[in-house]
A and B are shown apart, each in its own frame.
Chain A
Amino acid sequence: MAEAMRASVAQLLKGIDRYNPENLATLERYVEMQVKENTYDLEASLAVLKLYQFNPSYFQTQITSLILLKALTNLPHTDFILCKCLIDTAKLEEEQLKGVIKIADMLEMCQFKDFWDYVREEEDLISGVLGFEDSIRKFICHVVSATFQTVEKSYLQEVLGGINDLQINQWISKYGWSVQANGVVFVNAQDDNIKTKNIREKITFDSVAAIMATSR
């Protein structure tokens, strides 16, 4: 459904029509659809926030909260920041949005254990968003694979939200990582990519020739 709507919504957002508040209801429905069907369309989200910005009386906290949560599912991209820049400071102080901003802060600072503790406690916050937790796990795996060459399996389990052995093995194989002896997971051969760089100056003949020519 949501996928089918993508094209027609894209049409709605062309040119000056994207500022037409009459489209708001359709766009809001589209946001809810994305939440239920685990699809994502940043541009439509931003269009909704833009319409709220131009017509503050239409503002809906619930929809905004869903948009922000969906933006988090696209981490490590900075969609969340793009959305935040369009929401009034006063609105950002509303309880529900404060909660979302709090988990965004934790994720941005990679405090994954705190994040899982928090969302376990405040289940309602994310419960409606299909596939939210797995999207976040993808982001966590992205950070882990950038940071570690090897990491303890138990640590990995913890940052991924205390998942069980079966699940952790699925994530490990999904990313092509491998389990070594004594519960250590080999993530990436980082030493290939992360090397000390030496930058030496290269002076080409042409550049020297030009100077020699001018200062004869």
Chain B
Amino acid sequence: MWSDDVYEPDFDQSYGTGYDYESHTGDPQQDLEYERQYHSSSFIVPEVIKNFLLKFQGHILDQNLYEIQDAYENGFTQLTESFFKTSPWPEADSIAPIIAKEDPIFMILYRELHFRHIYARVPSGPSLDQRFESYYNYCNLFNYILSSEGPVPLELPNQWLWDIIDEFIYQFQSFSIYRCKLGKKSESELEILKQNPKIWNVHSVLNVLHSLVEKSNINKQLEVYTSGGDPDSVAGEFGQQSLYKMLGYFSLVGLLRLHSLLGDYYQALKVLENIDFNKQNLYSRVPACQITTFYYVGFAYMMMRRYQDAIRTFSNILLYIQRTKNMFLSNKPQIYDQISKVNDKMYTLLSICLTLHPMRIDESVHSQLREKCADKMLRMQKGDINEFEQSFSFACPKFLSPVPPNYESLGANYHKEPFNLQLRVFLDEVGQQILVPTIRSYLKLYTTLPVYKLAAFMDVNEDVLKTQLMCFKHKMKNVVWTKGTSGLDGEFQSASEVDFYIDKDMIHVADTKVARRYGDFYIRQIHKFDEVSQLGFFWASNGRFNGLRNRTNSVSNKRG
């Protein structure tokens, strides 16, 4: 999901140079076949790639998870950097003769990587054919997994399984946006789109995710797991297999994301109702999945005006990212970029939520927030609607329309409609409470304040002021999650920094006063002191400055 911005190639420009459909049969499947044959013979696969693929295939055949993971996360990435930085990996057909024996599953998995790489790295982006082909490849993969009579004999690393679900939705999203950009499409392209309404259809995508959820019995498993039982007791034949279990779990997160992209925040949270994401669970070991989950959950809460829940969700995951950042930086630089993008988005969302609902958050997240978003927050606090709009646009998911556009009437901005709707709903909400920060800033100065006086400050009459004060109260009373696994449940609370009530003609203000915190300061000093004495040691021994720096980082992480 954080790949949104990185991987959004400009299809319109690149597409003109694509294929000439006039000379084709008109049947995309047949044409694809033709293209494939045409291309396959012209590419000679380098030896090192051959060897890698052979080994890769071998590991999958042997079901050696450790080696598969290594080939997937390191081998493939390294070869991509040296050979295919911006050009596609060889076509599946040209590697077919290389691999040991006929192996349809490996071919499907290879195609998945091949297409994913085109989406991610090839500047011209996927062609219409490739989008279709990739779709069919996913169909083959999911058919293989879902239509088998018994569980299929395949295990893959969790990271890869997550990437498959994540990419499946990303490609659907990318297609939905692509199909709505009618501006520069040729007649023949439009014709093909019109004739193939089923490809990347929202129902098919939902169907896949729902089927994986059902096949794995993941909801029952989670229920039993939460109540302390053994998930395997209800998992069934398929759900006991790691492949199905994990695909089921990731599909729930996939549904969360898909529903959010369609603006359906209620369903988004509802699909997760059996996951207790306020505590670590055995399903949450893929960091990218964890971060995706929290981003979308937090966003849904924000849209539902459950700011306190949104703030808690964002702070939790931001703290987690802060603590694990260095690990990603050194071990998995390829996903660090993505994480840091979504990290920035979440700080922006957090700044929005905290502007609308000021409250105390974790110190270290707060200091990062000040560093990144202090200016933005100041502008938002002053009621700058533009700033709200910009922050929202920067940090929101890429909303999409579930239905094809009307190809006959070309609305140039049709692809922006879903975004415009969510932006509008958000800005309507902000507009309704735009006076709250101003009122709060006055209230902060007093412990009691006559109604008429505040009315004069606000330059309105007393009746209007009472309206505004009631609005303040209404908007600051949020539903807050208290217990249970369902993120939808909760009770009304108001935990905002400044609260008040009206008695007769007097406003009584209750502020939150935070005494200065010394512990943090002293801990920092103790560590510094510690380092200074270590420093003497380092210089004395070999002057390893790097060693010192690493140590500083690890110390501040431990503390954060």
Instruction: Say yes or no: is B469 at the interface (Cβ < 8 Å to chain A).
Output: yes
Inter-chain contact B467/A111, CB cutoff 8 Å: yes
Q: How far is the CA of A8 from the CA of B153 in the complex (A)?
A: 39
* Known contacts A197-B512, A201-B519: A150-B504 contact under CB 8 Å: yes
Interface string of B223-234 (1 = CB under 8 A from A): 000000000000
Q: Which of A194, A195, A211 contacts B523 (CB 8 A)?
A: A211
Q: Give the size category of B's interface with A.
A: 35 or more
Q: How far is the CA of A211 from the CA of B403 in the complex (A)?
A: 58
Instruction: Say yes or no: is A97 at the interface (Cβ < 8 Å to chain B).
Output: no
Nearest A residue to B305 by beta-carbon distance?
A78
Nearest A residue to B475 by beta-carbon distance?
A108
Nearest B residue to A188 by beta-carbon distance?
B501
Contacts of B516 in A (CB 8 A): 201
Inter-chain contact A89/B424, CB cutoff 8 Å: yes
Interface centre among B403, B474, B527 (most CB of A within 10 A): B474
Q: How far is the CA of A109 from the CA of B464 in the complex (A)?
A: 11
Inter-chain contact A109/B421, CB cutoff 8 Å: no
Contacts of A25 in B (CB 8 A): none
Instruction: Say yes or no: is B440 at the interface (Cβ < 8 Å to chain A).
Output: no
Among the 9-residue stretches B12-20, B72-80, B199-207, the one with 4 or more Cβ atoms under 8 Å from chain A is: B199-207
Interface centre among A42, A43, A82, A191 (most CB of B within 10 A): A82
Contacts of B207 in A (CB 8 A): 16
Inter-chain contact A199/B513, CB cutoff 8 Å: yes
Interface string of A182-216 (1 = CB under 8 A from B): 00100010110011111111010001000100010
Nearest B residue to A204 by beta-carbon distance?
B519
Instruction: Say yes or no: is B473 at the interface (Cβ < 8 Å to chain A).
Output: yes
Contacts of B202 in A (CB 8 A): 54
Interface string of A163-188 (1 = CB under 8 A from B): 00000000000000000000010001
Instruction: Say yes or no: is B263 at the interface (Cβ < 8 Å to chain A).
Output: yes
Minimum Cβ distance to chain B for residue A147 (Å): 5
Minimum Cβ distance to chain A for residue B495 (Å): 10
Nearest B residue to A151 by beta-carbon distance?
B502
Instruction: Say yes or no: is A84 at the interface (Cβ < 8 Å to chain B).
Output: yes
Inter-chain contact A108/B526, CB cutoff 8 Å: no
Minimum Cβ distance to chain A for residue B228 (Å): 26
Instruction: Say yes or no: is A162 at the interface (Cβ < 8 Å to chain B).
Output: no
Instruction: Say yes or no: is A129 at the interface (Cβ < 8 Å to chain B).
Output: no
Instruction: Say yes or no: is A134 at the interface (Cβ < 8 Å to chain B).
Output: no
Contacts of B303 in A (CB 8 A): 81, 85
Minimum Cβ distance to chain A for residue B401 (Å): 8
Instruction: Say yes or no: is A9 at the interface (Cβ < 8 Å to chain B).
Output: no
Inter-chain contact B203/A143, CB cutoff 8 Å: no
Interface string of B255-267 (1 = CB under 8 A from A): 0000000111111
Minimum Cβ distance to chain A for residue B423 (Å): 10
Q: Give the size category of A's interface with B.
A: 35 or more
Contacts of A46 in B (CB 8 A): 264, 266-267
Contacts of B429 in A (CB 8 A): 81, 108
Contacts of B527 in A (CB 8 A): 215
* Known contacts A53-B402, A88-B421: A199-B515 contact under CB 8 Å: yes
Inter-chain contact A85/B206, CB cutoff 8 Å: no
* Known contacts A146-B477, A201-B517: A108-B421 contact under CB 8 Å: no
Q: How far is the CA of A112 from the CA of B210 in the complex (A)?
A: 44
Minimum Cβ distance to chain B for residue A8 (Å): 19
Contacts of A86 in B (CB 8 A): 262-264
Q: Which of A56, A85, A196 contacts B511 (CB 8 A)?
A: A196
Minimum Cβ distance to chain B for residue A61 (Å): 17
Instruction: Say yes or no: is A105 at the interface (Cβ < 8 Å to chain B).
Output: yes
Inter-chain contact B210/A15, CB cutoff 8 Å: yes
Contacts of A60 in B (CB 8 A): none
Q: How far is the CA of A15 from the CA of B421 in the complex (A)?
A: 27
Q: How far is the CA of A84 from the CA of B467 in the complex (A)?
A: 24
Instruction: Say yes or no: is A19 at the interface (Cβ < 8 Å to chain B).
Output: yes
Nearest B residue to A15 by beta-carbon distance?
B210
Contacts of A43 in B (CB 8 A): 266
Interface string of A24-58 (1 = CB under 8 A from B): 00000000000000000011001000100111100
Inter-chain contact B425/A81, CB cutoff 8 Å: yes
Please give 13 more A-B residue pairs, beta carbons under 8 A apart, in addition to A53-B262, A105-B428, A147-B473: A43-B266, A81-B304, A81-B429, A82-B304, A105-B432, A110-B468, A112-B467, A113-B463, A149-B502, A196-B512, A199-B360, A201-B517, A215-B530
Q: Which 6 A-B pairs have the closest CB atoms?
A: A190-B501, A110-B470, A149-B503, A85-B263, A110-B471, A215-B530
23 chain-A/chain-B pairs, Cβ below 8 angstroms: A46-B266, A76-B477, A81-B305, A81-B425, A85-B264, A89-B424, A108-B429, A109-B467, A110-B467, A110-B470, A143-B473, A144-B470, A150-B504, A188-B501, A190-B508, A191-B508, A194-B500, A196-B512, A196-B513, A198-B514, A199-B514, A200-B515, A201-B519
